[in-house]
Amino acid sequence: MNVIKLGGSLLDDPARRAEILSAIALQWNRGEEIVLVHGGGKHVDANLKLRGIPKRTYAGLRITDDATLDVVVATLAGSVNKMLVAELAAIGVRAAGISGCDASTLSAEVHPPIDDVELGHVGCVTGGSPTLIHALVSNGILPVVSSVAEGPNGTLLNVNADTAAAAIAIAVGAEELVFITDVAGLFDESGNVVAELHANEAEALLGTEVVTGGMRPKLQAALHALGSGVRRITIGEEGGTNLVAA
């Protein structure tokens, strides 16, 4: 089974999204088992703006109060998730949209404050259950999973989609985890895509300023998955960065 995480501005580009979903459909129709995981931060931003709710972030995380959580859930588990399901259906793929909170597919704890700043309903992913995903795949249905996790006592938590994808890959025993994003891969100091990166090299890079922005949680999630049994990690599409064990 392979896990594919779709994110970045690709979710906002209908032409690129259609191209990627067509490639996924081709893999699925030739018998490959696939789980699609997605975020949708820009869609959340747009819906917050429509509702007059200010976007607040700290240390790269979205501060998620009650009103923001409502928008996050409605957007990720609702409009973005069902958009992907409908577009897959249009090209002949039976898909089912679920969120990480369904059947404990993703479990999380409340993220602790950072520098005394409370983040609200933000979660740290702690694990996942493969039960619902296996049930769907075994019946010929491609799971499309949004990054909303089950928190303590049945609460909902907003979690990083890269971390969610890694946890799902580990839970289902995936052979491969692919992060498809709007960048070609991981860039080195000269601005060139790194074709292959060993885990120890990736760890070292995280201690430098070469890896910045959204690439940091992506690389951290990739390393966690690699260290937990996922055999192949790719960041970017064909020609991107392959992460391999040390």
**23-53 residue pLDDT tens:** 999 999 999 999 999 999 999 999 999 999 9
pLDDT for 48-71, tens place per residue?
A: 999 999 999 998 899 999 999 999
Same domain, 105 and 197: no
Closest CA to 197 of 240, 142, 139, 144: 240
pLDDT at residue 210 in the model: 62
3-class DSSP state for residue 191? coil
Report yes or no on 246 lying in a domain: yes
- Rounded to whole angstroms, the Cα distance separating 41 from 9 reads 9
Domain boundary among 152, 182, 212: 182
pTM to 2 decimal places: 0.91
Q: Which domain holds residue 214?
A: 193-246
3-class DSSP state for residue 84? helix
C-alpha dihedral, 80 to 215 to 104 to 158, nearest 10°: -60
Same domain, 138 and 159: yes
pLDDT at residue 220 in the model: 84
Please answer whether residues 49 and 156 qualify as being in contact, where contact means their C-beta atoms are separated by less than 8 angstroms: no
Q: Give pLDDT < 50 ranges for the chain.
A: none
Same domain, 158 and 177: yes
pLDDT at residue 137 in the model: 98
Same domain, 216 and 241: yes
Q: How many CB atoms lie within 10 A of CB 24?
A: 24
- Rounded to whole angstroms, the Cα distance separating 157 from 72 reads 9
Same domain, 18 and 104: yes
> Which residues are known to be catalytic?
5, 8, 41, 162, 218
Same domain, 6 and 85: yes
Closest CA to 236 of 172, 174, 171, 186: 186
Same domain, 54 and 158: yes
Same domain, 234 and 153: no
Residue 11 burial (C-beta neighbours within 10 Å; 0-12, 13-18, 19+): buried
Same domain, 137 and 229: no
Same domain, 127 and 147: yes
pLDDT at residue 184 in the model: 63
pLDDT at residue 128 in the model: 93
Same domain, 81 and 167: yes
